């Protein structure tokens, strides 16, 4: 798939960066002319993935979160969120709705939200090496091109 545009950013796993990261990705996605609902879906999915890095991957430390977003033909955004944290022992279990290792105040819905709000989500992880979440969404054009 042809990549029409791309940006990368690295942020520390500080919780203040959750809102910063989702704002950056949604501002970039605006180039695809998304609806407000689509922007809201993207912001939510990014927020979940970045929060996972902070709460799980770098549980008791601060590390880098690497975020890449690409705009692909035909009007698709692909977002990669990668960490070099503790990794996920059992990805299938981690992706089950309501499963969490983080205790009572976390809903265990992060991956379920990403899967529900994006078209495709894939997770690659190796214990002690880190995790990469890749997700994509096709954006409907509000205004047709060449109109």
Partner 1 sequence: MSVEINVTGEVVTAYLSGEIDHHNAKEMRESIDNAIELNMPTLLVLDFKNVSFMDSSGIGLVMGRYRNLAKSGAELHITGAEAGIGKMLKLAGIEKLAKLEGR
Q: Taking the complex as a whole, how short is the minimal distance between the CB of residue 84 and partner 1, in angstroms?
A: 20
Under the binding rule (CB under 8 A), the answer on residue 135 touching partner 1 is no
Q: Pick from 51, 78, 121, 133: which binds partner 1 (CB under 8 A)? A: 51
Which positions from 74 through 133 interact with partner 1, judged by CB under 8 A? 104-107, 109-110, 112-113, 116
Under the binding rule (CB under 8 A), the answer on residue 19 touching partner 1 is yes
Q: What are phi and psi of 37, to 5 degrees?
A: -65, -40
User: At what angle are helices 17-29 and 36-52 packed, to 10 degrees?
Assistant: 140
Q: What is the side-by-side strand order in the sheet with 120-126?
A: 3-12, 64-72, 76-83, 130-138, 120-126
The total of other beta-carbon atoms located within 10 Å of residue 98's CB is 8
Catalytic residue ranges: 48, 52, 106
User: Contact residues for partner 1 (CB under 8 A)?
Assistant: 15-16, 18-19, 22, 37, 40, 43-44, 47-48, 51, 54-55, 104-107, 109-110, 112-113, 116
């Amino acid at each position: 798939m042809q990549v029409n545009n791309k940006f990368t950013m690295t942020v520390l796993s500080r919780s203040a960066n959750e809102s910063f990261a989702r704002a950056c990705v949604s501002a970039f996605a605006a180039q695809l002319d998304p609806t407000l609902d689509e922007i809201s879906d993207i912001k939510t999915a990014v927020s979940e993935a970045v929060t996972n890095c902070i709460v799980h991957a770098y549980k008791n430390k601060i590390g880098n979160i690497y975020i890449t977003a690409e705009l692909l033909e035909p009007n698709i955004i692909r977002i990669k969120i990668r960490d070099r944290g503790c990794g996920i022992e059992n990805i299938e279990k981690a992706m089950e709705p309501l499963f969490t290792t983080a205790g009572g105040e976390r809903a265990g819905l992060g991956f379920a939200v990403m899967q529900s709000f994006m078209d495709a989500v894939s997770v690659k992880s190796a214990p002690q090496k880190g995790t990469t979440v890749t997700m994509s969404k096709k954006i409907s054009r509000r205004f047709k091109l060449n109109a």
